[in-house]
Amino acid sequence: MSDFFKNTDLTRAEAENIIDETLLNKDDGELYLQNSINENIILDDGKIKNTNFTKTYGMGFRGVSEDVTAYCHSNSINKNSLIDASKSINSTLKSSKSYKHNNSIRRTNESLYSDHNPIEARSLKEKIELLNTVDQYLRSKSNLIKQVTASISTEKKNIEIIKTGGMTLSDNQPLTSFRIALIMKKGSKNTQGSYANGGRMTFDNYINENNWKEVCDEAFRQAEMNLDAKKAPAGEMDVVLNNGWSGVLLHEALGHTLEGDFLYKKTSVFHDQIGNMIGNENITVVDEGNIPGRRGSLNMDDEGEKTQRNVLIENGKLINFMHDRLSAKLTKNTPTGNGRRESYMFAPMPRMTNTFMMNGKNTRDEMIKSVKKGIYVDALGGGSVDIVSGQFNFAVNNAWLIENGKLVVPVEGATLIGSGPEVIKKIEMIGNDLELDNGFGTCGKAGQLVPVGLGIPSCKVLMTVGGSKT
């Protein structure tokens, strides 16, 4: 635990007074304190390219009146900066007429991860040796490997939230990530592969002799597969997505459009669809922030609300959006533990945690066999979405051309696009092989990055593929 009031002219009691004076005539708000340390070690081009040790320390003070938010943040936690922040909040929210201050919060004593510091799990020397071993292991696999980038990133984030009446909530959030990216070259052709492993469990869960090799092997498999890949086809066709990381489809095509701020702003394509069937009855989509140890899991969100399992779509019917305290209040819902922020530099907003689709009945083989012409997506890359129109896109890292129910040849250079409301209706088959991703997702929204988890069973869906072969 950090003692945020140790080396400052501000005592906890004084801070609590300022918080009360500022917020008791507002609807909501809190002082958010952060002290996190992060170590990042990167091996690239056969040598340790960089080690960077970052300490992020600061506070963010927020007041909310009706639907207006005032936020003020600073790297200095002291009397002057808190008083300045209070003045700034009052100047924005001065016109508020009536208020209903609410500081009730849904708390939990549950702990989804142990209180540990992953940075200290190994000495720096051991981590450097490990990265060198990883480099040698990968390069010994093939002399076509031209470049290996391997990194170990570990973080311990201490946060404390102080609400009115001295109510204090705190959490220690560990995070470990091990990443591999490699480039292979054959003739004039370059190919890439990347994979990672990570989450909030202890270091050894992600980086030990057994699992680091699996990460390397998968990155190598992706790069090698593309050495002989042909041009991807272009046009609308059946797409079979593999399980696990393909959940990024769900995250982009549906997840973002079910974030509560887009509900009260009425800008989500689904804002007027609650209670309606938006997909076929086999589709159930869940966001679950309290799965032990997962990258997207949190004991409490960044407003102090406990995280939970939220069913968003149940058997095809849209049930609920994901909320922070503000969107819950404005839409007369209960907070769902989805109020997240990247750091003290940002006010919270509704964000996903671990988002996935429940199992269906089909097998992936059945799906592939049912396709006359299409592609099988073996490894998806990243994607993005336009909330208002619902249009989304993804990069495909690895795919196979399917012809007459058989995988024919690897294809590359494809983007998948579609629109959320349409694609959810076009999911024809859902597999019985739900898997969550390996723990490497990072989601960006309004300039804020947060770690997330995602997952999906194998799926067959009609989509537009952006290859270069007509």
Partner 1 sequence: MLKEKKELEDLATYCIDKSIKFNATSCEVKVGNVISETVNLRNKKIENSDRSDVLSIKITTYINKKKSSTQFTYIDNENTNVMIQKCIESTKLLPDDKFNSLPNKKLLVKNIDDLLLFDKSTISNEKKLEYLKEVEDVALSNKFISKTNGSSFKQSKSNFIIANSDSLLSGYKKSEFFTFTDLVAKKNDSGMESDYYYDSKVYLKDLIPPKDLGSNAAKLAVRKLNPKKTKTETIPIIFEKRISKNILEILSSSISGSSFARNTSFLKKKMHHQIFPKNINIIDDPLIKKSIYSMPFDKEGVKSEKMYLVKNGILKNVILDSYYAKMLNKETNGRASGLSNTYFEPGNLSYKDLFNCGKKLILITDTMGAFGNATTGEFSCGATGLYYEKDTFYPINNFTLGGKIKDIFENIFLANDLEFKYSKNCPTALITEGLVVGGY
Instruction: Give the C-alpha distances (Å, rounded to integers) separating 406 from 111, 227, 371, 401, 436.
Output: 46, 20, 8, 8, 26
Among 68, 227, 274, 330, binds partner 1 (CB under 8 A): 68
Give the footprint of partner 1 on residues 163-202 (CB under 8 A).
183, 185, 189-192
The reply on whether position 276 binds partner 1 by CB under 8 A is no
Given the rule CB under 8 A, which of 80-88, 212-220, 432-440, 451-459 is the region that contacts partner 1? Answer: 80-88
Residue 405 or 413: the one with the smaller Cβ distance to partner 1 is 413
Q: Does the footprint of partner 1 cover residue 464 (CB under 8 A)? A: yes
Residues 18-47 that bind partner 1 (CB under 8 A): 35, 44-45, 47
Query: Rounded distance, CA 298 to CA 357, Å?
Result: 20
232 contributes a contact to partner 1 by CB under 8 A: yes
Is residue 125 close enough to count as binding partner 1 by CB under 8 A?
Answer: yes
Question: Is the distance from CB of 163 to CB of 302 less than 8 angstroms?
Answer: no
∠446-450-453 over CA atoms, to 5°? 125
Q: Which is nearer to partner 1, 139 or 309 (CB)?
A: 139
Site for partner 1 contains 314 (CB under 8 A): no
114 binds partner 1 (CB under 8 A): no
Distances (CA, A) of 140 to 134, 137, 293, 317: 10, 5, 33, 51
Q: Can residue 426 be called a binding residue for partner 1 (CB under 8 A)?
A: no
Identify which range of 12-20, 228-236, 241-249, 369-377 contacts partner 1 by CB under 8 A: 228-236
> Which member of 25, 42, 74, 333 binds partner 1 (CB under 8 A)?
74
CB of 388 to partner 1, least distance (A): 4
Binding of partner 1 by 431 (CB under 8 A): no
Check binding of 465 to partner 1 (CB under 8 A). yes
Among 111, 114, 136, 267, binds partner 1 (CB under 8 A): 267
Nearer to partner 1, 77 or 436 (CB): 77
Please report whether residue 236 would count as binding partner 1 according to CB under 8 A: yes
Does 143 participate in binding partner 1 (rule CB under 8 A)?
A: no
* Choice between 240 and 269, CB closer to partner 1: 269
Contact region with partner 1 (CB under 8 A), list: 53-61, 151-159, 287-295, 358-366: 53-61
Contacts of partner 1 in 356-395 (CB under 8 A): 383-384, 386-395
Q: Given the complex with partner 1, which of 399 and 454 has the nearer CB atom?
A: 399
Exactly one of 27, 31, 33, 69 binds partner 1 (CB under 8 A); that residue is: 69
